[in-house]
Amino acid sequence: MSRVLSVTSEIYPLIKTGGLADVTGALPLALGAAGVETTSLVPGYPAVRQGLQNGGEVWHFPDMFGGHANVIRGTAGSLDLLVLDAPHLFARPGNPYNAPDGREWHDNGIRFAALGAAGAAIGAGLIPGLSFDIVHAHDWQSAMAPVYLNYHNGPRPGTVLTIHNLAFQGRFAASLFPRLGLPGSAFGFDGLEYHHDVSFLKGGLCFADRLTTVSPTYAREIATEEYGMGLEGVIQYRAASLTGIVNGIDDAVWNPATDDLIPHKFSRGRITQRAGNKTALQQRLGLRESQAALVIGVVSRLTEQKGLDMLLEHLPALIRDGVQIALLGSGDRELEFSFIEAAARNPGSIGCVIGYNEQLAHLIQAGSDALLVPSRFEPCGLTQLCALRYGSIPVVSRVGGLADTVIDANEAALTAGVATGIQFSPATAEGLEDALRRLTILWRNQPVWQRMQRNAMSADVSWRNPATHYAALYNAILAGSA
């Protein structure tokens, strides 16, 4: 059985700002079934300290980048956790990256260098009784772990870096470099240096034994200028070490047959029960109560990436067609305001809640007829996987993981009876318009719609398959074929 140290800045259910937390929270359990034991190292934010059970100190760092730090071992549900309890870095209000005023913490470079350095030291066997075969880092926040391990003296574990989103790179002024405690050579074009700055993600991309990203299509896309966010050169250079493994979702948390967050539980065999959730959703968002109206749901960050600005211009036409919109999201103030305004102008047709709300996210998945994900780019995307499981037809742009997880209702797929949703390309307002037109036509053909719904609910969106791919990757590294 191999032992993995997963180093991450977020982990569901303790601390989450996005899909990263879902992945790092669910993968360990699935890996367990595939013969891999995982321990997760996370920063000791207040929420993590509060959620930790059975905690006991296992190590003390007298000086961890300007203050002392303890490592506390404990659990949260089935998760085996090591918490980097460094009060001077992590005991702060706000989310993991930003102060309550929304601005990034000024010392994020030091905070996440500390996470990486601790991950590297622990991964290399610092703590007696805790040894690891692999250190698995996630995104820029822990990308320094493979960098530090590259410069570690003595035997070291294998390293994997997973890119959940290349848009976030952990870029800091070059003045940070001398504080990182690395040899000067680490700040080269084949290391941390990026346009004269320090880039944690680039460092990790250069030094991890293997790279993964969260879907095969995104793995191909990021080698291009269009999606590479300036790092396409490094990605091309490391192409032989990069694999795409599509994410799953936690099928215990997202199970319509047992979900306590929705008023009417249902399953593929009891799909008629779903109607009660649609009514509940319409009531909750002040929408006209009608089973006949097509309800399009959205659960999303409201940012440029997610493409929801493209929906705004199509709202009048949709409303004329009797379509309803149920939107939950938060992000850019301007977009938030546009949707609030649209809802105020169209009561009964557009319902909108700005904020983060786990319960409403579940109700939208269970009560909407379709779920819209019109992203301009999307490494994997999780909400379309939840939608499949909950029988809400995903309408997605054909990018990244959206391309890999939804089977478009084109003529061939409809004839073969395998379609699970609608894909559109390019990811533009025109592309979306066409997809919405196809959606409303499909909605009027209820036998075909219900067939798609059954297909969607039959899709395997669990972690079982992805976990076997990760386990195989770890084994390949250990066998020396990385």
Residues that bind ligand ADP (CB under 6 A): 18-19, 22, 299-301, 328-330, 356-358, 361, 380-383
Least distance from ligand ADP to the Cβ atom of residue 305, Å? 7
Q: Name the region of 317 (left: φ>0; alpha: ψ -120 to 50; beta: rest).
A: alpha
Show the DSSP H helices in 382-445 as ranges.
383-389, 400-405, 411-416, 429-444
Least distance from ligand ADP to the Cβ atom of residue 304, Å? 12
CA 137/CA 152 separation, integer angstroms: 16
Burial category of 17 from C-beta neighbours within 10 Å (exposed 0-12, middle 13-18, buried 19 and up): middle
Beta carbon nearer to ligand ADP, 150 or 375: 375
CA 126/CA 110 separation, integer angstroms: 21
The answer to whether residues 136 and 42 touch, using CB atoms and an 8 Å cutoff, is no
Least distance from ligand ADP to the Cβ atom of residue 372, Å? 12
CA 9/CA 43 separation, integer angstroms: 6
Beta carbon nearer to ligand ADP, 13 or 125: 13
Beta carbon nearer to ligand ADP, 70 or 330: 330
Beta carbon nearer to ligand ADP, 209 or 259: 259
Beta carbon nearer to ligand ADP, 226 or 358: 358
Beta carbon nearer to ligand ADP, 71 or 387: 387
CA 370/CA 196 separation, integer angstroms: 46
Least distance from ligand ADP to the Cβ atom of residue 302, Å? 8
CA 342/CA 6 separation, integer angstroms: 43
Least distance from ligand ADP to the Cβ atom of residue 352, Å? 11
Distance between first and last Cα of the chain: 18
Q: Is 123 helix (H, G, I), strand (E, B) or coil?
A: helix
Least distance from ligand ADP to the Cβ atom of residue 253, Å? 9
CA 450/CA 42 separation, integer angstroms: 43
Q: Is 440 helix (H, G, I), strand (E, B) or coil?
A: helix
Beta carbon nearer to ligand ADP, 157 or 391: 391
Which residues is 211 bridged to in the sheet? 161, 242
Beta carbon nearer to ligand ADP, 158 or 248: 248
Q: Name the closest residue to ligand ADP (Cβ).
A: 19
Beta carbon nearer to ligand ADP, 130 or 167: 167
CA 352/CA 367 separation, integer angstroms: 14
Least distance from ligand ADP to the Cβ atom of residue 247, Å? 7
Beta carbon nearer to ligand ADP, 123 or 374: 374
Least distance from ligand ADP to the Cβ atom of residue 422, Å? 17
Of 63, 62, 40, nearest to 181 (Cα)?
A: 63
Task: Please state the three-class secondary structure of 10-75 as a single string.
Answer: CECCCECCCHHHHHHHHHHHHHHHCCEEEEEEEECCHHHHHHCEEEEEEEEECCCCCCCEEEEEEE
Least distance from ligand ADP to the Cβ atom of residue 320, Å? 28
Least distance from ligand ADP to the Cβ atom of residue 107, Å? 24
